[in-house]
DNA sequence: GCCAACGTTGGC
DNA sequence: GCCAACGTTGGC
């Protein structure tokens, strides 16, 4: 599976979806309500819960290069978001409980980095803004969709998505390797990136950042290079 | 294309 | 509720 995502323009007819999601709303707090009742789907539920209070910024991964999965191209880079009507799309296809739970914490108006993963040079390409908070990801019910989930029932949907709007490209591309240098340095000498989820929880496709982490990363675009 | 790290499944 | 087997993510 790609990191996540395969966005369509967000002309989704889904306000029926929102009603359904309302019922689900409780699980924003007690994160694993839906999933966790069966098994403990994803590791540290409590750390997710405890930490999120501080998070106000996000990093969301998507693959900018073509890759065929179940006969469908999962490519969705920042240029693809920019090309949609209103430069807005829904961030569908997230199929990991931790990532989903973080998505449910995201508030309208918050900013997220658009991260390019599984490509020649992974890294942060640009900025987007959340324009709609979590609601039902309709692709979970679509048999034709790469991320169809036969185990999810419309009466109790498992997966959510948010809508995002393109804001701007970063002044320069911030590669994973450059970010990693700072991360290592901050681990050694102290610094704002020492707990960056990109490295401490590498596989999360929707990850939280503190304002300090976010601001530090943004200062990098004005520096000359890694 | 490889594979380490980690998430998920399901038998017991 | 443990844990082995399996599947996925995503850097390299």
Any idea what the CATH number is for the domain that residue A34 is in?
3.10.590.10
Q: How many domains, chain A? A: 1
Mean pLDDT of A2-19: 40
Whether the beta carbon of A207 falls within 7 A of nucleic chain B: the reply is no
Give the pLDDT score at A226. 61
Nucleotide C8's nearest residue (CA vs C1') is: A1
Please report whether residue A27 resides in a domain. yes
Task: Tell whether the model's pLDDT for residue A17 goes beyond 60.
Answer: no
CB contact at 8 A, A124 and A112: no
Containing H/E element for A82?
helix A78-82
Which residues 35-54 on A are within 7 A of strand B at the CB atom?
39, 41-43
Nucleotide B6's nearest residue (CA vs C1') is: A203
Task: Tell whether the model's pLDDT for residue A186 goes beyond 50.
Answer: yes
**C1' of C7 to CA of A96 (Å):** 13
CB contact at 8 A, A88 and A165: yes
Q: What span, in angstroms and rounded, lies between the C-alpha atoms of A60 and A79?
A: 15
Q: What span, in angstroms and rounded, lies between the C-alpha atoms of A73 and A79?
A: 15
Give the pLDDT score at A70. 87
CB atoms within 10 A of CB A41: 18
Which nucleotides of chain B does any protein CB come within 7 A of?
Answer: 5-10
Please, which pLDDT band fits residue A13 given cuts at 50, 70 and 90? very low
Please report whether residue A105 resides in a domain. yes
Please report whether residue A134 resides in a domain. yes
Give the pLDDT score at A224. 84
- Residues with Cβ within 8 Å of A120's Cβ and at least 6 positions away in sequence, in order, are A65
Of A88 and A43, more confident? A88
First to last CA, chain A: 30
**C1' of B11 to CA of A153 (Å):** 25
* CA distances from residue A221 to A52, A178, A181, A211 in whole angstroms, order as listed: 26, 11, 15, 16
Q: CA A191, A100, A62, A109: dihedral to nearest 10 degrees?
A: -70
**C1' of B11 to CA of A42 (Å):** 20
- What is the residue range of A132's domain? 15-220
Mean pLDDT of A194-200: 97
Task: Tell whether the model's pLDDT for residue A28 goes beyond 70.
Answer: no
Please report whether residue A87 resides in a domain. yes
Whether the beta carbon of A53 falls within 7 A of nucleic chain C: the reply is no
Please report whether residue A9 resides in a domain. no
Whether the beta carbon of A97 falls within 7 A of nucleic chain B: the reply is yes
Containing H/E element for A116?
strand A111-116
List, for residues A82-133, the tens digit of each pLDDT value.
999 999 999 999 999 999 999 999 999 999 999 999 999 999 999 999 999 9
Give the pLDDT score at A106. 98
Task: Tell whether the model's pLDDT for residue A135 goes beyond 90.
Answer: yes
Give the rounded distance of the alpha carbon of A80 from its chain centre.
16
Please report whether residue A154 resides in a domain. yes
Which residues 124-143 on A are within 7 A of strand B at the CB atom?
none
Please report whether residue A157 resides in a domain. yes
Please report whether residue A3 resides in a domain. no
Task: Tell whether the model's pLDDT for residue A65 goes beyond 50.
Answer: yes
Mean pLDDT of A75-84: 98
């Amino acid at each position: 599976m790609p990191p996540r995502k395969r966005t369509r323009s967000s002309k989704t007819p889904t306000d029926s979806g929102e009603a359904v999601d309302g019922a689900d709303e409780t699980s924003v707090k007690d994160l694993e309500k839906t999933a966790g009742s069966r098994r403990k789907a994803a590791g540290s539920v409590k750390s997710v819960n405890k930490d999120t209070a501080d998070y106000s910024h996000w990093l969301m991964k998507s693959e900018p290069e073509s890759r065929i999965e179940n006969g469908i191209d999962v490519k969705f880079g920042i240029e693809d978001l920019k090309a949609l009507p209103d430069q807005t799309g829904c961030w569908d296809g997230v199929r990991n409980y931790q990532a989903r739970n973080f998505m449910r914490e995201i508030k309208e108006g918050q900013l997220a980095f658009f991260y390019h993963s599984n490509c020649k040079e992974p890294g942060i390409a640009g900025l987007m803004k959340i324009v709609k908070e979590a609601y039902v990801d309709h692709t979970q019910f679509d048999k034709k969709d790469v991320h169809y989930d036969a185990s999810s029932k419309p009466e109790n949907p498992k997966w959510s998505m948010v809508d995002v709007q393109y804001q701007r490209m970063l002044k320069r591309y911030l590669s994973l390797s450059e970010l990693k240098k700072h991360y290592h340095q901050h681990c050694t000498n102290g610094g704002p990136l020492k707990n960056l989820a990109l490295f401490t929880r590498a596989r999360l496709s929707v990850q939280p950042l503190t304002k300090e982490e976010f601001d530090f990363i943004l200062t990098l675009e004005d520096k000359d290079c890694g």
